[in-house]
Amino acid sequence: MQRTAVNPWDWSLKLGYNQAEIIQGATRQVVCAGQTAVDANGNPQHPGDMRGQIGLALDNLEAVLTSAGMDLSNVTRLGIYATDVEDALKNFDVLGQRFGAAQSAPPMTLVGVTRLAIPGLLFEIEATACA
């Protein structure tokens, strides 16, 4: 698979993502459901802690990707939902560290929501990955 970044402007690069990517030669695609800060039994973790919830949501996303034979470097699109956008942005370095280590800057959207499906959750991340 070959990925080519498309960035008519460079402002998004400073925030850690490309405006678009051209994906060529992919043979498999995985569409992941939204991952949150829950344990293996679906119980919410890190109440009131955005940073902790982002970290666990990313752990859970990586577990799903690993089960599909992929990792964060295969992610081609992210959808992110947060109950407090400002708090999420303050902790976006967690995403930057994880995706930076994978040398990946997938296009993403961050949306503020009034709540998520399970009370107490603050952050949810969904992904599309290709290989």
| pTM score, whole prediction | 0.93
**Mean pLDDT of all residues belonging to the chain:** 96
Task: Name the residue range of residue 77's domain.
Answer: 2-130
Please give the average per-residue pLDDT across 100-122, as a whole number: 96
* Helix axis angle, 93-101 to 50-67, nearest 10°: 30
Q: What is the CATH number of the domain that holds 74?
A: 3.30.1330.40
- φ/ψ region of 61 (left if φ > 0, alpha if ψ in -120 to 50, else beta) reads alpha
Average pLDDT over residues 54-63: 98
pLDDT bin (cut points 50, 70, 90) of residue 14 is confident
Mean pLDDT of 83-99: 97
Span 44-60, average pLDDT: 98
Domain count, the chain: 1
